Structure 1
């Protein structure tokens, strides 16, 4: 390879890197206009860091029972107090962060992996394929999400793995419908007709040309869906169908603390606040993403 070829490749790579960098700066600029969304994004980043490094920094065992210090009020030793089994509430919340995020991200990933192909095939092929897939989605949508998840977990059994599967299944229709709508709009574009006229296969058109152009609504839907998944998983654990004792899952902690809400409110207060803050952060960040990624928004 000649020096000219090497220089040309280097220049091309430099232009590509600069273009990506400019795109990220423009996206961040649009996102930063929504201060609430920016705060939500920073909160989510801090949650991820807490989930990774938080357990390494805590001093107490999240599952060790010590009845001699049960139901202590918040103090310098126990920031959020202790529960009815003498376990440090703050430590359990920190350890529960990774569980909550794991359930939220993984369940949405399951819903996306199933729902996105169904939505694309439905919107691209239309006809009987579209009717069959959408009627199946309508059947799933006929059940309220929490009731569908509750029924699935009741059949599969109470565990975090089954919660992920149940929440993932009830997330499928949301992804399928939004992807179908985006695909219906994308397949009518002129460049899709041009690519088809050049002899590209359906799979190449779908996954190389249509899917990359409908990622924006998918990303927004995934972000908002994580909040719903976390809330649903916490509700299932609250009912005793999710994480099993002594796992420090926030919904289960909230369920344990409801018996002490009047005499020792800290046992239920802090897990409840943790759920509210995480869900709120994903919701406001998702709203900001929708505005930043929407090409129809005014610059």
Structure 2
């Protein structure tokens, strides 16, 4: 059956990719951390011991970790473990989507600049330089203060501010790859510039791009946390790891667990993406 054999072929390809990841210990550890957080986020409605915004008034007198609240409660009596589990959902939704958007936009700009060169390269490069001259955090604060701090606005801001960096990376690779023989052969066949860029150049640049996407996802998670700490992150009442730190950092001298556990959640997820990037880079260097 053609359909069944094609499906089996796709499963086999995914199996080979996973086997390749298992060849690198950093990649395997990083992927395990990421998958654990994805699983926790998906199962949060069932495994979180309490609703994320439910307050336990009895725990206000002693919010430290206990049998009832494994990671303790915050200053409003809300269970920290439940809020961390629920807080993983928006983080794992916003950060990767923003990276995909920035990579798509940046790749198109970089391909056009590196392939066509001349005035197209000049216009795109200068536009990217202008965006990159702005202080990033201040730019985030201005845009989000004006348009509001919704998840989609944060995705848009991260996409637009990270795309110029990716455009520079892709432009550099395109300038090198456009001189390869397979690109010259595609031109001789009469293929369009768009086909050459997307079918010949981009697939041969995907290795460094995938590594960059992993690193940039971790960076976006940090930025989302910083925005939450500044009060312009994901809107309440949904749990936000950065917002959890903002709400409780003034109590760190008395109840340090209130801020340390959300910080640990951010750090662990960032470490997971960084380890995956390191492992994928090692695998790429072996090829």
Same fold (TM over 0.5): yes
Stretch moving more, 91-100 or 149-158: 149-158
Mapped contact 1:163–1:236 kept (Cα < 8 A): no
> Which of 164, 177, 196 pairs up with 1:205?
196
User: 1:36-115 maps to which residues of 2 (within 5 A)?
Assistant: 36-70=26-60, 72-115=63-106
Equivalent residue number for residue 232 of structure 1: 223
Instruction: Find the aligned partners of 2:131 and 2:160 in 1 and give their Cα distance.
Output: 9
Return 5+ residue gaps in structure 2 as ranges. Answer: none
Equivalent residue number for residue 159 of structure 1: 150
> Which of 177, 185, 192 pairs up with 2:176?
185
- Matched pairs, number: 284
Matched, 1:287 2:278: yes
Mapped contact 1:67–1:84 kept (Cα < 8 A): no
Equivalent residue number for residue 3 of structure 1: none
Instruction: Find the aligned partners of 1:271 and 1:140 in 2 and give their Cα distance.
Output: 32
- CA RMSD, 1 decimal: 2.3
Mapped contact 1:105–1:226 kept (Cα < 8 A): yes
Normalization by structure 1: what TM-score?
0.87
1:32 positional shift: 4.0
Distance 1:65 1:244, change over 3 A: farther
Instruction: Find the aligned partners of 1:67 and 1:122 in 2 and give their Cα distance.
Output: 60
Mapped contact 1:154–1:241 kept (Cα < 8 A): yes
1:82 positional shift: 0.8
Instruction: Find the aligned partners of 2:198 and 2:140 in 1 and give their Cα distance.
Output: 30
Normalization by structure 2: what TM-score?
0.90
Mapped contact 2:228–2:234 kept (Cα < 8 A): yes
Q: Secondary structure at the match of 2:43?
A: helix
Matched, 1:220 2:211: yes
